[in-house]
Structure 1
């Protein structure tokens, strides 16, 4: 028995050494494949997830594996481009990726060695996943851009509707001015004209250069600003307190205009309702608080939907006034919250950081 074991010892040693060598070889192959996968990921990041550029520049990394060559054809939003690298002979693996208006046909020429093929296939799948991810990123960016453009269009519709209503309001005032009251209507027009000009400038700037967060700063006396808006909409108001603040133009003033216009619209829908608006301004060390409420207004039945885009209790409304208000306040480091009184009247609270 011992003699038999002595004869088997060399075989055991040879077998163990062979297994160890194979395991070491496979470990080195796996480590190399992992290194190349990370290199592809880093390259994709460096190229800012630009799929066509990544596709053209990935071969030096792939060439370090068992992949012998690639051939590809890309349809990029109706423009065809193609390319190849490495050798065109060998076992071919064909793949297709289609995302929206982007479609890729790609062939990989693999090594003939069986053990290398498994690692190459894993690397190829990583490469394809990165390409597909880049295509989805591009598609998502385009969808987000179109969505932003749609939102911008809606905001413009809302602003243009406000300007049109300003003009209608002034026209009505001019048409009904009684004799001897010309100075009164002139004072009204003098107060209303700057507000209309601000809105018109905002629309023109948005149409020409887009909705920019780099609006010029405007110094505002809040009590005066709020008083002018109330006069413009013929709202009876009581304003307590005052504060001065410098904010980007067409942000805080536009937000306050949207809030107060709601009370004017209530009066238009329900002629017997004449809201009296109460405004309190608190000038604190770090922020300014503006509290806006009104009596003699109907309660809100769907309070939770006030800031929901495209929802409005007014059949003629676009449903984006308060949603737009939140966006405007965000630009000037402000927020808005809303509450309800015991009888259901709205109470708006605007915070603006100094």
Structure 2
């Protein structure tokens, strides 16, 4: 009887060891699998960021598949990118028993507000999902730091006003290059007469523009912001003629904001319509102001007849451009200049058929009437 009990005890011990061994094996297998899953997800994030050239917007748009693979069910985000706003929703509709967590990644003019929905188990502090999300946020933050450093480095290398002059010199150089190409293609007396007549109207404008650029380079920065009473319509007409653009302008308002600031803003905005022509119809511009103390609104609108994809969130990002000859500074500089005079600028699209810019300027408090 004692021998039987002893054998049962031994068998029970062995069975216990076997169960413990099996349990340890599956535990090790589970952690090994989770570790491989974590390493794979992290590697994919880092590789994706490199493939996106550490561009925060591209990385954010493409990272969802990685987050989804580790248990994230839905991602909602509000993005503010250099003054433009964008809402993003990824994944399925919100279901019951999902846990939501909010995150914020922000650097100056770049801001990501996010809500991530996960299954309850995936939301645990040290789960694979939480670790991958934490890495995703760190990578996104580093991309913003790099973008910020790029801008700061540029600003240290070139003062803001020097950027305006450089941008203007580029435009004058493009005009000279275009003129050179037109001269090469003239093959008849009739075309020569047409070219001379065209130059008769445009060369004085470009010469005046070149003189002003030289004057600006010699002018103290403080004078750039001096204001005199100007009519906005006249400034827009001058810039449109400078670029050879057809415009139809409704309304007119006087302003005592600095003329050079407004001219630079209008040149940078209308320059985009010149560099990226989208319609043969004139550009529609409306100028309005309800009362002298209210803001002046300038709406610049054009039809969209090409298949080019317009990306509102990229419009005011410095050094981002789809033009081979552009620097990606025009709209960014317009926005920065408008900030100096408490103005604003927004890009908008209407059903994919029209697009434009809305400029808001502070109202007058010193003038007695509108023009």
How high is the TM-score relative to the length of structure 1?
0.49
Higher relative contact order (CA 8 A, sep 6+): 2
Larger radius of gyration: 1
How high is the TM-score relative to the length of structure 2?
0.47
